[in-house]
A and B are shown apart, each in its own frame.
Chain A
Amino acid sequence: MKSAMTRTAVALAVLVGALGLAACGGGSSSTTGSNTGSETSETSGGGGETASNKGPIKIGAAIDETNLMKFFDGPALAAAEIEAEKINKEGGVDGRKIEFTVENTQLEPAKTKSVAENEVNGGAEIMWVTCDVDWATPSIQVGLKAGLLTVSPCIGTDQMGPKRFGSEGELAFSYGNVAQDEGAALAALFKKHGWKTVDIVPDQSIAFTQNVCESFKNRFEENGGKVVVEEKFTEGDGTIGSVANHVNSSPADAILICATTQNDLPTFVSGVRSAGNQTPIVGPWSIDGSFWLPKSPKISNNIWVTTYASIYGDDPNPEVRELISEMDKKGAEPATGGFVTGASAIDGIKAAVEENEGSTEGKALAESMVNFKDLPTISGEISFSPELHTVFGREYRVIEIKDGKPHYVEMVKAGTPAEL
């Protein structure tokens, strides 16, 4: 009897464990989906305020302050608040000060939804959401249902907009670079450095990493490049060691890895470099930051990253360096260059509100934003289109990690977004 009970308990353990493993392996997001807010409950709020209101512009932020996304959400918000303070000191936006209220979603879907509802009920005129479209979806749905302009600082896929959220998604925008643009910028970097053959290693666990590698491939081949090996993996699936060994036997000029800064990225880099392979390893913004780098300078070498800003004290834009210094003073030291998207989102909101003479009415702001063409912001010039509500056209900083030390090298630009 005891044995049978033990077996039952073990079976339960394995079941729960398997579910846990699935959750771990799934990482932060699924790769597809198209919800338009049918589960969102009714909330009060009226899609922003009209120009006659000269009170503060209330931005309700439903972001992660606890879990994986806090390293993206936190610095982006800190940068946004500093940019907002600067604007407020100069008299605000059409006479209106910018005011943030912030609540922690803890990356839990139910909490994300309730936090967003609190923000709407508390009078938020603009919804500010976390930097991953899947985690942010419950709050995006609440914002869109309430008719609010809904902004994420650094979502990097084309999902933030009508593609995922239907007609309601016309109010949704992200100030991150869209994967089609970053893929094209990476292809431009390869062209600039004369890397004509490549091994591509995309992580299939999130849409951004898949999309950026796919976009790169399309533009790289258009440019006459040749893909030697394409090895897909899913973060945490245990295959990254084999992937590194396959890549090691390839003669390509460079390796493109589209991954996130979880366990598999340093395992891959270590697997390649430890075998004596010093081929350039290149990656998008999602591998920016130095915290994940193996400490050995032999291993953390010849790695190239495209990103929004250099956090290593050598960004070419003095305004960005000043922003980093102010963030450091606030104890919000950025871990990646993505922080600057928060400040540029505030620049974008300011431009849209000014165009609408102080109104924060969601539809009006969205109509202004979708027409942004090369709008100057602290992070560079940005553009949106009816199809792409995530930024394209921005210049990228290229960071090289040499002997364990990251430093800014050059700028690169996509030209036009690649096909996906």
Chain B
Amino acid sequence: MNWIQTLVDAIGLGSVYALVAIGLALIFGVMRLVNFAHGELITAAGYTLVVAHALPVPVAIALAVLVAVVLAWLMERVAFRRLRNAQPATTLVATFAVAFALEAVWLIAFGARGESADLLSSLNEPAIQTGGVTIRWVTIAMLGVGGILLGATTLLLNRTKIGLQMRAAAADFRAARLLGVRADAVISAAFVISGVMAAAVAILLTAQQPLVTPTFGLEITILALVGIVVGGMDRLTTATMGGFAIGFLNSLLGNLLPSSERVYLPSAVFLIVIIVLLVRPVGLFAPRGASTAERL
């Protein structure tokens, strides 16, 4: 086994999940909502790339971002706004409902077999290829985009007025409103940002995984969600690190397990997840003494 390639592969997969985790963690931090339907934003952007394949690449990318953003805004406006004061279990079920409804839409519109959207396939080419080690541009792009999005979101939440308003609305929606925060607008803004992040995931992911299917975004979202719980879902950085960790672990174990035993990979990953949650229930990367009440 080539250990350097193994680590490169693990970093590559980790960066995919980290990107997904940022969008999930943002909505969880602001609304305390585990948005299962986030994966559908990724799928929507992916199908937009399929449909816009003949257009110039920048136009196709812009359309993918636009579609994901509009869909994210609609999700919040139509489905989640009315449930803002509902029990967490109720809102969770609502996100399932939205996710499955949209999946049915993709199934009807595009069919089950998938469509190819390798708009940026050149990103999958090697940036470095030496001594049996291949580092692809897409891995570098994912790490770069992930870092930029994480940094920008952290700055937005901590250093801008709208970020402060988002956090205020998240802490106490009614009090924030009484203090003049346009809470509906700032929460919509958070969804819009999560739409941008979902589009970024779709654009980079299709460079590596060109086939877009109705479950394109769902599968990756589920594992990323596991990652943010493991990392520490109450903070954007720990959640993102958790997303990275779950992808890294999955790839690393996939390489360590003998090829014939790779069928047990999900069991091995989830066994480690359970152990981590038992030992560090507040999250693997949460600061010592952190309580679950803290946010972002």
| Residue contact A237 to B113, C-beta cutoff 8 Å | no
Give 27 A-B contacts (CB < 8 Å), ordered by A residue: A3-B292, A7-B292, A8-B89, A10-B34, A16-B96, A17-B221, A18-B226, A21-B219, A21-B223, A24-B215, A25-B219, A67-B112, A68-B112, A232-B260, A234-B262, A239-B250, A239-B251, A242-B6, A242-B255, A245-B5, A262-B213, A266-B209, A267-B210, A270-B124, A270-B210, A271-B124, A294-B118
Q: From A9, which residue of chain B is reached at the shortest CB distance?
A: B88
Assembly CA distance A2 to B171 (angstroms): 12
Interface on chain A toward B: helix, strand, loop, or mixed SS?
helix
- How many residue pairs, one in A and one in B, have C-beta atoms under 8 Å apart? 177
The total of chain A residues at the interface (CB under 8 A) is 59
Q: Which residues of A contact B193 (CB under 8 A)?
A: none
B280: interface (CB < 8 Å): no
| Residue contact A293 to B116, C-beta cutoff 8 Å | yes
Assembly CA distance A233 to B89 (angstroms): 36
| Residue contact A9 to B292, C-beta cutoff 8 Å | no
Which residues of B come within 8 Å of A, CB atoms? 2, 5-6, 9, 12-13, 32, 34, 36, 53, 87-89, 91-92, 96, 107, 111-116, 118, 121-122, 124-126, 129, 132, 134, 136, 208-211, 213, 215-216, 218-219, 221-223, 225-226, 229, 233, 247, 250-251, 254-255, 259-260, 262-263, 265-266, 270, 292-293
| Residue contact B216 to A9, C-beta cutoff 8 Å | no
Q: Which residues of B contact A294 (CB under 8 A)?
A: 116, 118, 121, 210
| Residue contact B208 to A270, C-beta cutoff 8 Å | yes
Q: Which residues of A contact B34 (CB under 8 A)?
A: 9-10, 13
| Residue contact B118 to A20, C-beta cutoff 8 Å | no
| Residue contact A13 to B13, C-beta cutoff 8 Å | no
User: When each residue 234-249 of chain A gets 1 if its CB lies under 8 Å from chain B and 0 otherwise, what string results?
Assistant: 1011110110010011
A103: interface (CB < 8 Å): no
Q: Which of A230, A236, A242 has the most CB of B within 10 A?
A: A242
| Residue contact B88 to A5, C-beta cutoff 8 Å | yes
- CB contact under 8 A between A18 and B251, given known A267-B208, A291-B116, A299-B121: no
- CB contact under 8 A between A267 and B255, given known A6-B32, A9-B34: no
A356: interface (CB < 8 Å): no
| Residue contact A291 to B118, C-beta cutoff 8 Å | no
A50: interface (CB < 8 Å): no
Contact of B262 among A6, A237, A241 (CB under 8 A): A237
User: When each residue 275-304 of chain A gets 1 if its CB lies under 8 Å from chain B and 0 otherwise, what string results?
Assistant: 110000000000000011111100100000
- CB contact under 8 A between A9 and B92, given known A232-B260, A242-B251: yes
Assembly CA distance A7 to B234 (angstroms): 11
A41: interface (CB < 8 Å): no
| Residue contact B229 to A263, C-beta cutoff 8 Å | no
Q: Which residues of B contact A5 (CB under 8 A)?
A: 87-89
Assembly CA distance A35 to B209 (angstroms): 37
| Residue contact A238 to B53, C-beta cutoff 8 Å | no
Q: Which residues of B contact A236 (CB under 8 A)?
A: 219
